[in-house]
Homo-oligomer: A and B are copies of this chain.
Amino acid sequence: MARRKIKQELISNESKRKVTFRKRKGGMLKKMNEITTLCGVIGCAIIYSTFDNRPEIWPSPPELTRVIDRFKETPEEERDKYTVDQKTFLGRYISRSSNALERERKKNQGLAMELTLIDCLAGKSLHDLKCLEDPKELEVLLEEKIKCFTDKIETMGLKSKQVNYENDIKK
């Protein structure tokens, strides 16, 4: 959009692609910032790139508190509708796989379960969780989760006085 118009296709030159990505990412975040202030809305942008080692998220999690609060105030009906949509989408991806892809499929299922778990945090009602085929799976997953969290709490507890948690995650 500047000295020259470019084709809408993957930029082959990697360094150019990287530069373009950074510029445009900045532009997007600025736009998101403006629309939220000008229009009194709450927004969030997520970008997975090969350039950054983790997803870029704006606003950052602490700022998203507003999003959560807003979400919690949403009438149940609407919230459920949203959840159902998500489930429809996920179901399309999760449930069909050949035997050769069994392993990947299980990974997908695990992710789907993670989604369900997170749905719970988001305030989803119990009766919508019937997508879990076997309650046993849920128990196993729950146990793993608990262990994971327990470990995390220990680690964080021990290091909380001196450490920047950020580092742990990165390595």
- How many copies of this chain sit in the oligomeric assembly? 2
Give the residues from 1 to 60 in chain A that come closer than 8 angstroms, CB to CB, to chain B. Answer: 6, 8-12, 17-18, 20-21, 24-25, 27-28, 31-32, 34-35, 37-55, 57, 60
| The one of B21, B49, B152 that contacts A129, using a Cβ cutoff of 8 Å | B152
Per-residue contact bits, chain A 96-116, to B (CB 8 Å; 1 contact, 0 not): 010011011101111111111
Interface residues of A (CB under 8 A from B): 6, 8-12, 17-18, 20-21, 24-25, 27-28, 31-32, 34-35, 37-55, 57, 60-62, 64-65, 67-68, 70-71, 74-75, 78, 81-82, 85-95, 97, 100-101, 103-105, 107-135, 138-139, 141-142, 144-146, 148-153, 155-157, 159-160, 163, 165-166, 168-171
